Amino acid sequence: MAKKTGKNKAEKLDYAALRRELKADGPGRLYLLYGREDYLREDFLRGLRALCLPEGDDGFAYHRFDAAQPDLRALAEAVNSLPFTTERTLVEVRGFDLNRCRDAEVSELERIVSDIPDYCTLVFVLSSDYEPDMRLKAAKLLCRLGRAVDFTPQGQGQLMNWIRKRFAALDKDVGPEACAALIMTSGELMNGLIPEIAKIAAGTPGREVTAEDVERLASPIPEAQVFKLADCLADGDYDGAARQLHELLSAGEEPIMALAVIGMQMRRLYTARAAIEDGLGREFVEKNCGIRYSFALDKLMNTARRLDTGYLASAVELCAEADYAMKSSPVDDGELLRELLIRLAVS
């Protein structure tokens, strides 16, 4: 029988500790790997493969399934197949749609994962945009009998250290201010930051990379542009807000997705402003807005201080109205988004 090592839910990610444990204890029998930070997920998988298949894939010890609904009979055969030239087998299942797993499939899956041989490691790998519903039977089963790891973006210290190392490998020095500017501009996901770091390093003539270099060379994610849009509104710079919206749409962002980001930012600003007025403190804003970096929280709080509570309450309502209009009105979504910006400026 498989050893019950699960915790009924995914653990908070401490990636360094996870890798140390893998190196010290060796591969487990069952894993569920998911989450937005696919760079770390794939790095962990490489470590897992290296331990299970130290001589590489011999054609017998590695089995991979790529399907939303894999053949469970074939999966059971792979799990129970004996290794040939290695001590372990590795079975990798990618893209399994756990949320659509029916009761009969869950029962069959339970028969497989509850009796994994000592020599086998079975790992379920979900894409970065897939969120398993931990209330459903299939996800609960894998959490209970195996190791579920949610690969979330790294904390501020870990991510900044990683950025410094990536720049150092390109013979560049980067300080905390430039690291913060890069995360604010290009996001927190490592696979998205890698090409930006290479581009900034190539475009910076000197050894030191500054926040100005990042601002000049990095490609902004939609959230960064919406941050700037909100700052323009706070400063009464409506032309600047219009430019940010134009750049957002010109980059190919769908209006409905752009509206979602704008609405989220307005809700965050309203929360921050209410917390300021009620003396609830930074921790309240950090928790309720899901902000993990102190420099992002500083920026949010500073912008919120420059906006009136009534204005932000109205902005949240206007975003909700625009969302309803996009889903129910024949008017072009881009026109509705531009109309929203005008209403935000007027109000």
pLDDT in tens, 205-245: 999 999 999 999 999 988 888 888 888 888 888 888 888 88
Fold of domain 156-217: Helicase, Ruva Protein; domain 3 (1.10.8)
For 187, other C-beta atoms within 10 Å of its C-beta total: 21
Which class is 222-346 in CATH? Answer: mainly alpha
What's the pTM?
0.84
Please give the distance of CA 343 from its chain centroid, rounded to a whole number: 32
- What are the tens digits of pLDDT across the range 55-73? 877 678 999 999 999 999 9
Which residue matches tokens 């993990």?
Answer: 292
Q: What is the CATH number of domain 15-150?
A: 3.40.50.300
Report pLDDT digits (tens) over 19-38. Answer: 999 999 999 999 999 999 99
State both tokens at 310.
Answer: 């009534």
Which 8-state DSSP code applies to residue 14? -
Over the stretch 168-202, which tens digit does the pLDDT of each residue have?
A: 999 999 999 999 999 999 999 999 999 999 999 99
* Nearest CA among 130, 135, 62 for reference residue 96: 130
Do 160 and 179 touch, CB atoms closer than 8 A?
A: yes
Q: Domain locations in the chain?
A: 15-150, 156-217, 222-346
Amino acid making up residue 124: F
Q: Are strands 173-174 and 120-125 parallel, antiparallel or unpaired?
A: unpaired
